[in-house]
Structure 1
């Protein structure tokens, strides 16, 4: 976690010319989310989802940084629900998963503006 962003020091360093003056990137990668699934043979498996957020608005980007733990919890709930509904041996419905994760993002942040990006969805 970048504690300077929580305190607003990174943003003020860019405004005053300190810190190199490079614009802050709009993409933020979040930790991988995992959930348990039932495999075709009756064993247990793991569903893994890599996520990130693209947030061009600097004010909303700060909110995303501050809300990262809440976003991870919301994503974990969505992925676990999707994994529970997954039939053994069936592939996950990625389109539906993305729509549910985007809705969880908007709900957690309180408004739209942060675009969810999916890296990998894998069931092993």
Structure 2
């Protein structure tokens, strides 16, 4: 019978406002609150030895406008599809002995961002680019 009051006291303590200290402060997601991280994009390339390789590009978009940010989050699958298609076209035209041109690729992917979003305001950010 003594366990019921203890259980009730434990429940009240757990629901108290100060009881959430164990979880710590809210973590900020990588890139900030306006940043949307996308999955890594991949495309096949022809390596200098004639074999196939893989070009991987990490991307994300920064959307400071709240309304536009909500729209961008809903359009992530369409953005990703547009990026992959653009990356495949870019990779198919690459010279096997050259490295990817990040500036040219950024311009192409930013153009796709603006097209899919239907307006400007979302800024494409490129991360790591690897060729294997």
Normalization by structure 1: what TM-score? 0.80
Listed as ranges, the gaps of 5+ residues in structure 2 are: 1-25
- Alpha-carbon distance in structure 2 between the residues aligned to 1:78 and 1:122: 17
For the pair 1:53 / 2:61, whether they are aligned, the reply is yes
Which residue in the other structure is 1:95 paired with? 103
- Alpha-carbon distance in structure 1 between the residues aligned to 2:119 and 2:101: 25
Aligned equivalent of 1:83, options 78, 85, 91: 91
SS in 1 for 2:94: coil
Normalization by structure 2: what TM-score? 0.75
For the pair 1:30 / 2:43, whether they are aligned, the reply is no
SS in 1 for 2:38: strand
Give the aligned length: 103
Which residue in the other structure is 2:126 paired with? 118
SS in 2 for 1:90: coil
**Superposed displacement of residue 89, structure 1:** 2.2
**Superposed displacement of residue 59, structure 1:** 0.3
Question: How much is the aligned-residue C-alpha RMSD, in angstroms?
Answer: 1.5
SS in 2 for 1:31: coil
- Alpha-carbon distance in structure 1 between the residues aligned to 2:97 and 2:51: 11
Listed as ranges, the gaps of 5+ residues in structure 1 are: 1-19
Larger Rg: 2
